[in-house]
Structures are given as structure tokens and as C-alpha cells.
């Protein structure tokens, strides 16, 4: 809990390390599920896949000596503690020196971050100008005490009592100052007086129980809690007694106490109450009781992500996927960009659990189908003529087929899993090579993706490469038939991974050329660009294609943006599958993670039309099933178009396409 929230119930707005949130799921997020097998892809049963300034942003610790600063666009940068102090904290203090509210928040932020020695002068300034409330005196008293000056702390608080009378917070801090001077009995009496005024002051109650525990053990602590529980409107002590009962496995005793605490508590229910209630019941395995008590009282603005994490975990473990996803949608709609990485991981966790449950409920036989696309997957129909040259009808027609990878520990045939790195890359590589061939030769390109139909449809990931004759048969079966097919396979047992490519003539299944490249997941760009160049040469030499210069509007995102480009392209493919007949509502997950990722790609490449078209395609494809999610991005897309316009004619084309979505 932050310093200022603990003392005054408000949340710092200046950049500060954020609170830790318990129960965060760990898996990475994917967009769909996939199916793996040791058999050839043809014979597998399925395994499923799925502007504010930085000084006004939220920051959180990245590692012990670093602070992560997140701006309003969700972009992050890491600052050392000295950098954050000199570049963010101290300039901000100077800016708000005469503004009590902002200065108090800034001091609290700095104290949370551990910058105590720098806060003496600002705290003294706050005490001079913040005379309308006790806040300035309390903060200065805390700073004095923490700097080893408890007598000055006590004098500051006594002066505040003379001015405005006793208050729970002033008495609590006075008790601490007295305790620091070894005035133990006087301190305990002052602490009890604070609880008489406010029995639900969390820090005072916790310290009161702890001090009695030090004197007489568990029995003394329980008796102290019962004394506080007897005070009017005392819900926090009941919570403590309920926790003690639950720790002794007396649920029948704990539940009435929890209910009494909830009845006495104000609305919205204090975050500490719901956090402790949900944490205790969840850790004890009483998830149904947790949800019955807490979920109807959850208030997103008051309780935030920490309580939501416990509700999400309970719903997940009870298999209440729809309720959990509804809560996720509510959290996504709240204006806290710093929450989104946590929510994306929850999204993936729910997808895994839903997939496992669906497979267990419907283990029936499935059939293999082939999904066929035309041209680059991110290029909307009708845009080719406006921004890019159309395919040359005289050029050879080329199909692309991947979806196979040799991995260290292949799953059992027909088992289900959310798509992993090997599966995603097995689909992304053919898509990338297809667009390179499209723009580099004007050939008609047809990416083919194996797909399992059934109760739980999925992409297919085979562990063996497609045989040339089967691949050729697939190419001949297209309407119209393709002249050649490019077959890729990934050897992913250990890094560097290797991508193997074969160019197969469709008429007779003969392999007319091969190529390969080794890559690492961290830096795949050079290898895949080199593989694409080899492919273009093969197409020129073996298929009679004419290699041409790509159009000026076509730029593959480079450097650090290349890997995310591949990922988002594969996810875009998955988004397109959600509208296929028989695809259930839960097939796709991570829609917001995809859109957030595409927005980051657009911010990294603000003049590049390709990421902008990818965003258009994602929004268009999502609209059919997830119009609410698409609507959430209306203002963000408008700002992107206004603040980072493309050159014409691309800007006009994209404005029209976005306008059609948000008409």
C-alpha cells in the first residue's frame, strides 16, 4: 500500500513505483490455439491454439535500482533511481512548491520510493502552506521521526492538536513518536485513543494487536481485537477475528464475522477489507464463499487490480469462465494503461483453462481443412489498387504452406494447447514470405493454413514437414490452381532455430529448389530477410518470375519492430478465423493485447503504412464478434490518425477505412 493511500486514502498521481499485485498469472499471451502431432499434418487430430507527459504517468519498479516510467501511449522507459530523482522527482517538486495537494502527493511518492533524506525541506514547506488540514503536520512529523528526530515529531503533532484538536491519524503518529522515545505505556494509551475515534484505522489496529501479541501471545492479541470489535462501527477487528478463525480452519465461525464486517463497512467497501477477505478465503481454498461475499461488492475504481486478481483467480479455478471474462472486460475498459500487461496474462490464462475444459467436454473426432488466403494477410480488399500495384496475372501463382515444427518435447497426437512460439513462427514465416513474393515479383500468392474443424477448432502444428507430393496436391486443388508451392518447416529443438524451405512444382510434386536460414527468436530479422531474398532468386530461376522493386509504400518494420511485426501478422490470421462457420465464441482471446501491440507498432513506425493497415484489418475482423472491444479503441485510433498522419494518398485511404469501421 502506498504511503499516501495508507495515511489519507488517496492515490499518488506523480510517477511512483506502483503497488505489487498478488496472484498475477505468469503465462505469455497468444491469440489462438493450435494442435500438434508427431504424424504428418494431413493425419493429425487437433491441438488448439488462441497524451500525457512522463511526469504525469504511472511508474513501477523494473528491478531493484531501476524505475519503469509508462506514458499515456503505454510506452515504457527505464530510469535509474538517480535519474528518476533528478529528472522527474526534483523538477516536479519545484513545479508544485506552492500547491499543497500536489506537493503532498509528490512527497508521498518520494517517500514510497525511498527518497527520505530529500523530503525534509519539502515536508517543512508543506507544513507551512497546508494549514487547512492536518496533512502537512502529519507528513512532517513522519519525516522527522524517520530521520531519527522523534521529539521534533511529537512537538509537531502536539502543536497540531492544539490548533485543530485530536484526530485518529494525528494520535496514531503521536503514539509512534512516543514509542520511538521509549514511552511505551503512554504510546499504547495514545494508540487506544486513536482507535476509540476510528476503530477501522488499519495501521492503528494492526499495531495495537501486534503490541499485545508481543506482550502475551495469540491469546492477548485476540483479546485486544475483541476489545476493538466492541467499539461502535468496528468492522476491521471483526475481519481480524475472522482471519484468526479461518487460520484455525473454523469456516463456520469465520463466515459470520466476515458478513458482519461487510455489513458495518461503508460503501464502497474499503479495499483493505475486500483484499484481506478474498486473499484469506482464496488461500484457504474457499473460492465459492469468496465470490459470494466479495464479487457483488467489487467496485473497480475503489478496489482496482489487487482485489480483481483474487476474483479472477477464484472464477478461473471454479471454471466460471464467462463471469471471469466479464470482469476482464470491465477492467480493460477502465483507464489504467499500466494494468494492461497483467490483464493480457489473465486473458491467456483464461484461454488455456477454457480450452482444456472444452477438450475434456468434447473429445470427439475432428476433420482437417485448409484455410486459403489471397495476397498479404494485412492488405484489405480494394486497397491494392489505391496504394499498391495489383498482382500480375501473367506471373506464376504460388501457394505457401508451413504449420510444421520439430520441437524438443512434442505433445501427444491430438492434444490441445494454446499456441506457442514454434507454432506461431510456423504460421508467420509463410505469411512473411508470401508478402515478399507478392511485392517482389507481382505473383499471385495464396497462403494455406491447416485447420481442424470440430467442437473445438484449431490451427494444426505438425512435427514433420509436409511431403512434397501432398503439398503439390494441395496447390493443384486450389481454385484457381497454383503453379508452385513454397513449403517451410522449422527445426526448433534448440537455438538457433533453422527454417527450411522447399520450392515444389505443383504439376508433378518435384522439389525444384531449396533454401534455409538459422535464426534466434530475439533477432530473427536478418535470417528471414535473407531467406526471402533466396526465395525470390529461386522464383526467378526456377519459376520464371520477374523480380521487381517493391512499391514505395511497402516497408517491413525493421529492427526491434520486426519480431512484433511477425507476431501481430500471425495473430491477425487467427482473428480472421473467428468468423469461420463452427468457430466457437471462445476460440479467440487476447484481442486487446493484439490491438495494443499493433498500436505500439504504429508508434514505433509512425510513417509506415503497413502497420496502419494491419490495425485496420484487425479492427475490421474483430468487429463481427467483438464490437465492444473495437469501440474501446475509437478515440485512440482517432488520435493516431491526427497526431501521426501518413503521407498522402495513404492518409486519405486509412482515414476512409477507419471511418467505415467507426461509422
Full DSSP string of 587-630: S---HHHHHHHHHHHHHHSTT-HHHHHHHHHHHHHHHTT-HHHH
Given a cut of 80, whether residue 22 has pLDDT beyond it is no
428-437 average pLDDT score: 97
Find residue 66's DSSP bridge partners.
63, 80
Show the CA angle centred on residue 508, arms to residues 503 and 511, nearest 5°: 25
Instruction: Note whether 388 and 554 are within 8 A (CB).
Output: yes
pTM above 0.95, yes or no: no
| DSSP percent split of the chain into helix, strand, coil, nearest 5 | 55, 10, 30
Quote the CA–CA distance of 569 and 567 in Å, as a whole number: 5
> Is the pLDDT higher at 503 or at 133?
503
pLDDT at 574: 85
pLDDT at 74: 63
For residue 442, count CB atoms less than 10 angstroms from its CB and return exposed for 0-12, middle for 13-18, buried for 19 or more.
buried
Q: Could you report the per-residue pLDDT of 536-595, keeping only the tens digit for each?
A: 999 999 999 999 999 999 999 999 999 999 999 999 988 888 767 666 666 667 889 999
Given a cut of 80, whether residue 374 has pLDDT beyond it is yes
> Is the pLDDT higher at 14 or at 616?
616
Q: For residue 206, what pLDDT band results from cuts at 50, 70 and 90?
A: very high
Greatest alpha-carbon span in the chain: 98
% of residues, the chain, pLDDT over 70: 85
> Is the pLDDT higher at 57 or at 204?
204
43-58 average pLDDT score: 29
Average pLDDT value over all residues in the chain: 86
Residue 248 is placed in which grid cell? 484455525
Specify the DSSP element, H or E, that contains 523: none
Q: For residue 170, what pLDDT band results from cuts at 50, 70 and 90?
A: very high
Show the CA angle centred on residue 287, arms to residues 281 and 288, nearest 5°: 120
pLDDT at 440: 96
pLDDT at 385: 65
What sign for the dihedral angle of Cα 509, 513, 518, 522? negative
Helices 421-441/525-543 angle, 10° precision: 50
Instruction: Note whether 40 and 413 are within 8 A (CB).
Output: no
Instruction: Note whether 71 and 53 are within 8 A (CB).
Output: yes
Quote the CA–CA distance of 245 and 629 in Å, as a whole number: 43
Cis peptide before 649 (omega within 30 of 0): yes
Residue 389 is placed in which grid cell? 500495384
Quote the CA–CA distance of 593 and 340 in Å, as a whole number: 8
Q: Centre a 10 Å sphere on the Cβ of residue 629 and count the other Cβ atoms it contains.
A: 18
Instruction: Note whether 311 and 298 are within 8 A (CB).
Output: yes
Instruction: Note whether 139 and 107 are within 8 A (CB).
Output: yes
What sign for the dihedral angle of Cα 269, 270, 272, 273? negative
% of residues, the chain, pLDDT over 90: 69
Tally of CA atoms within 13 A in the half-sphere of 439 that contains its CB: 22
pLDDT at 36: 42
167-171 average pLDDT score: 97
Q: Could you report the per-residue pLDDT of 647-663, keeping only the tens digit for each?
A: 999 999 999 999 999 98
Given a cut of 70, whether residue 521 has pLDDT beyond it is yes
Given a cut of 80, whether residue 184 has pLDDT beyond it is yes
Quote the CA–CA distance of 13 and 99 in Å, as a whole number: 14
373-392 average pLDDT score: 83
CA-to-CA separations, 441 to 533, 534, 549, 558, in angstroms, rounded: 11, 13, 8, 21
Q: For residue 250, what pLDDT band results from cuts at 50, 70 and 90?
A: very high
61-77 average pLDDT score: 64
Least confident range from 76-85, 393-402, 525-534: namely 76-85
Q: Which residue has the cell 464502497?
A: 268
281-298 average pLDDT score: 96
Q: For residue 49, what pLDDT band results from cuts at 50, 70 and 90?
A: very low
pLDDT at 418: 53
Instruction: Please compute Rg for the chain using Cα positions.
Output: 31
Instruction: Note whether 235 and 273 are within 8 A (CB).
Output: yes
Residue-wise burial string across 592-606, b where 16 or more C-beta atoms lie within 10 A, e elsewhere: bbbbbbbbbbbbbbe
Strand 66-70, strand 76-80: pairing: antiparallel
Q: For residue 95, what pLDDT band results from cuts at 50, 70 and 90?
A: very high
Given a cut of 70, whether residue 354 has pLDDT beyond it is yes
Amino acid at each position: 500500500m502506498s504511503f499516501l493511500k495508507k495515511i489519507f486514502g488517496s492515490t499518488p498521481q506523480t510517477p511512483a513505483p506502483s503497488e505489487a499485485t498478488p496472484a498475477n498469472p505468469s503465462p505469455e499471451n497468444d491469440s489462438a490455439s493450435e494442435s500438434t502431432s508427431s504424424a504428418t499434418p494431413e493425419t493429425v487430430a487437433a491441438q488448439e491454439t488462441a497524451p500525457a507527459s512522463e511526469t504525469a504517468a504511472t511508474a513501477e519498479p523494473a528491478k531493484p535500482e531501476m524505475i519503469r516510467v509508462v506514458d499515456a501511449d503505454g510506452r515504457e522507459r527505464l530510469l535509474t533511481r538517480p535519474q528518476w530523482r533528478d529528472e522527474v522527482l526534483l523538477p516536479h517538486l519545484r513545479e508544485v512548491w506552492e500547491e499543497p495537494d500536489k506537493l503532498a502527493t509528490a512527497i508521498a511518492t518520494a517517500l514510497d520510493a525511498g527518497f527520505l533524506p530529500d523530503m525534509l525541506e519539502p515536508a517543512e514547506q508543506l507544513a507551512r502552506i497546508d494549514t487547512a488540514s492536518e496533512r502537512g503536520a502529519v507528513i512532517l512529523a513522519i519525516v522527522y521521526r524517520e530521520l531519527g528526530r522523534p521529539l521534533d515529531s511529537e512537538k509537531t503533532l502536539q502543536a497540531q492538536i492544539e490548533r485543530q484538536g485530536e484526530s485518529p491519524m494525528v494520535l496514531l503518529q503521536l503514539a509512534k513518536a512516543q514509542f520511538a522515545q521509549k514511552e511505551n505505556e503512554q504510546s499504547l494509551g495514545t494508540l487506544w485513543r486513536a482507535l476509540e475515534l476510528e476503530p477501522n484505522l488499519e495501521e492503528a489496529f494492526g499495531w495495537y494487536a501486534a503490541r499485545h501479541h508481543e506482550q502475551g501471545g495469540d491469546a492477548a492479541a485476540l483479546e485486544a481485537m475483541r476489545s476493538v470489535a466492541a467499539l461502535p462501527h468496528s468492522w476491521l477487528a471483526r475481519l481480524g477475528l475472522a482471519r484468526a478463525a479461518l487460520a484455525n480452519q473454523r469456516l463456520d465461525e469465520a463466515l459470520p464475522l466476515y458478513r458482519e464486517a461487510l455489513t458495518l463497512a461503508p460503501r464502497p467497501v474499503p479495499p483493505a477489507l475486500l483484499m484481506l477477505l478474498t486473499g484469506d478465503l482464496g488461500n484457504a481454498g474457499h473460492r465459492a464463499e469468496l465470490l459470494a461475499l466479495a464479487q457483488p461488492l467489487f467496485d473497480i475504481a475503489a478496489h482496482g487490480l489487487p482485489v480483481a486478481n483474487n476474483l479472477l483467480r477464484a472464477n478461473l479455478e471454479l471454471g466460471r469462465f464467462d463471469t471471469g471474462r466479464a470482469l476482464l472486460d470491465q477492467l480493460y475498459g477502465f483507464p489504467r494503461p499500466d494494468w494492461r500487461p497483467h490483464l493480457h496474462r489473465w486473458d491467456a490464462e483464461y484461454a488455456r483453462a477454457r480450452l482444456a475444459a472444452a477438450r475434456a467436454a468434447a473429445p470427439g473426432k475432428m476433420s482437417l481443412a485448409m484455410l486459403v488466403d489471397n495476397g498479404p494477410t494485412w492488405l484489405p480488399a480494394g486497397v491494392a489498387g489505391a496504394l499498391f500495384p495489383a498482382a500480375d496475372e501473367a506471373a506464376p501463382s504460388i501457394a505457401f504452406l508451413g504449420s510444421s515444427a520439430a520441437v524438443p518435447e512434442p505433445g501427444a497426437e491430438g492434444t490441445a494447447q494454446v499456441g506457442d512460439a514454434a507454432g506461431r513462427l510456423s504460421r508467420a514465416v509463410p505469411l512473411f514470405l508470401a508478402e515478399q513474393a507478392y511485392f517482389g515479383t507481382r505473383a499471385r500468392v495464396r497462403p494455406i493454413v491447416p485447420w481442424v474443424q470440430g467442437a473445438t477448432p484449431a490451427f494444426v502444428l505438425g512435427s514433420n514437414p509436409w511431403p512434397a507430393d501432398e503439398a503439390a496436391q494441395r496447390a493443384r486443388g486450389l481454385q484457381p490452381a497454383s503453379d508452385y508451392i513454397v513449403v517451410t518447416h522449422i527445426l526448433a529443438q534448440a537455438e538457433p532455430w533453422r527454417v527450411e524451405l522447399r520450392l515444389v512444382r505443383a504439376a508433378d510434386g518435384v522439389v525444384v529448389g531449396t533454401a534455409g536460414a538459422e535464426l534466434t527468436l530475439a533477432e530473427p530479422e536478418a535470417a528471414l530477410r535473407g531467406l526471402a531474398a533466396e526465395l525470390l532468386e529461386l522464383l526467378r530461376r526456377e519459376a520464371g518470375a520477374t523480380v521487381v522493386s517493391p512499391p514505395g509504400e511497402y516497408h517491413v518494420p525493421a529492427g526491434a519492430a520486426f519480431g512484433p511485426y511477425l507476431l501481430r501478422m500471425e495473430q491477425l490470421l487467427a482473428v480472421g478465423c473467428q468468423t469461420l462457420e463452427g468457430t466457437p465464441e471462445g476460440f479467440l482471446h487476447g484481442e486487446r493485447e493484439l490491438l495494443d501491440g499493433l498500436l505500439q507498432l504504429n508508434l514505433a513506425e509512425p510513417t509506415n503504412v503497413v502497420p496502419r493497415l494491419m490495425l485496420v484489418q484487425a479492427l475490421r475482423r474483430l468487429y463481427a464478434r467483438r464490437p465492444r472491444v473495437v469501440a474501446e479503441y475509437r478515440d485512440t485510433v482517432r488520435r493516431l490518425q491526427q497526431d501521426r498522419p501518413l503521407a498522402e494518398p495513404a492518409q486519405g485511404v486509412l482515414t476512409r477505412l477507419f471511418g467505415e469501421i467507426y461509422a
